[in-house]
Chain A
Amino acid sequence: MSQGTLLSARRVSLAFGTIHALREVELDLWPGEVLAIVGESGSGKTTLLNLVSGRLRPDAGAVWYRDPDGALHDVHAMPDPALRRLHRSDWGFVDQNPRENLRMGVTAGGNVGERLMAQGARHYGSIREAAIDWLEQVEIDPDRIDDFPRTFSGGMLQRLQIARTLVTHPRLVFMDEPTGGLDVSVQARLLDLIRTLVARLDIAVMLVTHDVAVARLLAHRIVVMQGGRVVETGLTDQVLDDPQHAYTQLLVSSVLHA
């Protein structure tokens, strides 16, 4: 694998029965980089995300992760406790549906504090302080710290999920359609927020989206997928302004310009 990458997928393939979800996919992610995976529905974007984050096992190939000490780990050869530790400290996951990730019966503060407590934080005052600080950072009124997520709007839920994920300062965050299902004005605000936070905290992001506009706004680099293969990859502006592959050309030309 290349020097200095944070995460690398090498020739990973995965089939569900006769459906080839992923075919020999190669992928590199460098520290602090935002990488967008775009493609049509069913092209294997989410499967790829689940696979590199260890939620799914590949039939062939391997995914390598470099820890803060520079040591390389095969994600799928890691013992369960180590992978779980990674998921609650160095890594984060932002789901399309915040209800999947949040605990709806637990207050906003408890949701934000859970990862801290799972890491062993045992000081109520400082957990609460961190929760208030993060609610402010994602533009949720800190007075709502003791409210239940079910009283929050869709956009607020998504921001709460982001606060809950970033509270432990992960190095790598996986995002699956973070703005899906939100109306356009809320989307714009959320994208702006994600861009600011990611740049300030120097987090690497692997972002799955079907929306080319989201990719252009957030991503440094872009990977275009079709039928389980990576068909084109490069700098975002380069790929979107001068698409080489026929499918990418179709994808770019299909975007409506307001």
Chain B
Amino acid sequence: MKGYNFGYLDEQTKRMIRRAILKAVAIPGHQIPFGSREMPLPYGWGTGGIQVTASVLGPDDTLKVIDQGADDTTNAVSIRRFFARTAGVRTTTHTEEASVIQTRHRIPERKLREDQILVYQVPQPEPLSRLEPSRAETKRLHALADYGLMQVKLYEDIARLGQVSISYDYPVMVNGRYLMSPSPIPAFDNPKMHGMPALQLFGAGREKRIYAIPPYTDVRSLDFDDHPFRATRAPHACGLCGATDSYLDEVVTDDRGGRLFVCSDTDYCASRRDTAQVAAQ
């Protein structure tokens, strides 16, 4: 596209973001400040993720963008088209064909490989933000690895509700050192982060932070020995493909209480249905 640099951002900005990414990879789970730029979409729509994607994207890459697991929602479609126009890269909806996947609130069901990069859109990078409002104090707590406060929150949940009540953005310890917000993915997806072969990058545009999990890094969800972390999903099979191992969305189908549970990962669901159809023929 004329008048724009490859991938919209200018090269100096990309270098600055790549430096932040390198630092982030060197210290897994640690939040690195960066000079977040104004992007042609509003805060909360993925300004952090889109800047990280722009900085790691090369002409030979194939890009996939998902929003809540789906390839066909507004946010996913517009970011995919944005890079198709400003970088001219190939785009896809198939997880296994993509080399860079930008995601909002989900990790694809299909296992990712070493040659793939997963870019998360992060609204609030600070896992302690709801417990400790002062940014200066949370920085101190991270520096001293003083995470008793988060554990107290889990204790309170169990004491009052009998179980941990966090269902998304469930805090994790990365590499046994830093407490990290996994972005608002469902707790169901947390175990996928542990030891993932793909590089995981997190961009928070409004909060101006980048962090990362290098491939094959230890990622543990916080829990108690006698109340271990459990990944929960709706107790149904997908209404379209019949999967019993995927994360499900509940869809209201009529105004008489009709409900349908379907895979939130549209690519996973479609490829399962294709395989089933081929097998039937």
Contact = CB atoms under 8 A, between A and B. Distances in A.
Q: Do A and B come from one complex?
A: yes
Interface stretch (A5-13, A27-35, A121-129, A218-226): A121-129
Contact of A113 (B143, B147, B152, B225): B152
B225 A123 contact: yes
B160 A146 contact: yes
The dominant DSSP class at the A interface is helix
A122 B225 contact: yes
Given A110-B155, A113-B155, A124-B227, A118 B160 contact: no
A109 interface: yes
Given A81-B144, A84-B144, A107-B160, A114 B152 contact: yes
B146 A109 contact: no
Interface in A103-119: 103, 106-107, 109-110, 113-115, 117-119
B159 interface: yes
A251 B227 CA distance: 56
A122 B224 contact: yes
**A81, A109, A122: most-surrounded residue (chain B CB, <10 A):** A122
Given A123-B225, A124-B224, A114 B158 contact: no
B60 interface: no
B224 A115 contact: no
B17 to A, nearest CB: 31
Interface residues of B, number: 19
A69 interface: no
Interface in B135-163: 143-149, 151-152, 155-156, 158-160
Contact of A84 (B146, B160, B223, B225): B146
B255 interface: no
B216 to A, nearest CB: 24
B226 interface: yes
Nearest to A118: B148
Contact of A127 (B143, B147, B155): B155
Contacts of A124: 155, 158, 224-227
A59 B152 CA distance: 37
A106 B157 CA distance: 10
Nearest to B156: A110
Contacts of A146: 159-160
A125 B151 contact: no
Contact of A107 (B143, B149, B159): B159
A65 to B, nearest CB: 19
A197 to B, nearest CB: 23
A110 B148 contact: no
Given A80-B144, A81-B144, A117-B148, A110 B159 contact: yes
Contacts of B156: 106-107, 110
B163 to A, nearest CB: 11
B148 A122 contact: no
Given A113-B155, A114-B148, A118-B151, 17 more contacts: A80-B143, A81-B143, A84-B146, A88-B146, A106-B156, A107-B160, A109-B155, A109-B159, A110-B159, A113-B152, A114-B152, A117-B151, A123-B225, A124-B224, A124-B227, A125-B226, A127-B224
5 contacts: A84-B144, A117-B148, A117-B151, A117-B155, A124-B155
Interface of A: 80-81, 84, 88, 103, 106-107, 109-110, 113-115, 117-119, 122-125, 127-128, 145-146
Interface of B: 143-149, 151-152, 155-156, 158-160, 223-227
